[in-house]
Amino acid sequence: DELLLSILPKKIAEELKCSGKSEPELFKNVTVLITDIVDFTKKSSEISPKDLITELNDIVKGFDEITEKHNCERIKTVGDEYVAVCGMPVANANHAVNILKAAQDIIQYLKIRNQKTKHKWEVRIGVATGELVGGIIGSKKYIYDVFGDTINTASRLESNSKPMRIHLTQDTYKLVKKKFEFEEQPPLQVKGKGKMKMYFLKSAD
């Protein structure tokens, strides 16, 4: 049970235990968060492998505690990239608000951590809202993964974000515009979608 819950969302783990399978599912209202560490390749070459893994483990642990606190689900880490969602595999009406609160806490967590540790890390964050398909990949080594334009858009926003800033789409903005303050950005050319309006969440400080 503990092993399944460590690699799969609880709902998916329960389905797997009860029926031996979990069918792929389309989720219509999901918000995605993608973080990427600034200058990771350069910095990682200056740190011993042991210290690098220790640093990444500590950061991911901190991020996991934050996403769990805000009812979000970490989907995966790929190198220094961290992907989390809210609204799947369990629906959540506050998916956009929860993800933005988690994003704010991630930045605050790193700011505080950087004051105490030798190695200083910053992230860029991209957030997008829309449809996603989720399902288990593999039959021996299970991975729960997500697919769809929403992931691609969040990744595009992350790569066009700025250090320690939260960059989001107009779709996310419309859901949360009365709950946060924003800075509208020039439209961004997104592959397959044309120009899209983008926003930065205003920094708390």
Task: For 160-201, give the DSSP string.
Answer: TS-TT-EEEEHHHHHHHTTTS-EEEEEEEEETTTEEEEEEEE
Q: Whole-prediction pTM value?
A: 0.90
d(CA 76, CA 102): 16
What is the pLDDT averaged over residues 93-108?
Answer: 97
pLDDT of residue 14: 77
In contact, 73 and 86? CB cutoff 8 Å: yes
What are the tens digits of pLDDT across the range 128-140? 999 999 887 766 6
Q: What is the pLDDT of residue 135?
A: 82
Give Cα 189 distance to the centre of its chain. Answer: 21
Digit-coded pLDDT (tens) for 52-78: 999 999 999 999 999 999 999 999 988
The pLDDT assigned to 24 comes to 76
**Please, which residues bridge with residue 49 across strands?**
none
Asked whether residue 81 carries a pLDDT value surpassing 80, the answer given is yes
| Per-residue pLDDT at 194 | 85
Q: Given this model, what pLDDT does residue 169 score?
A: 94
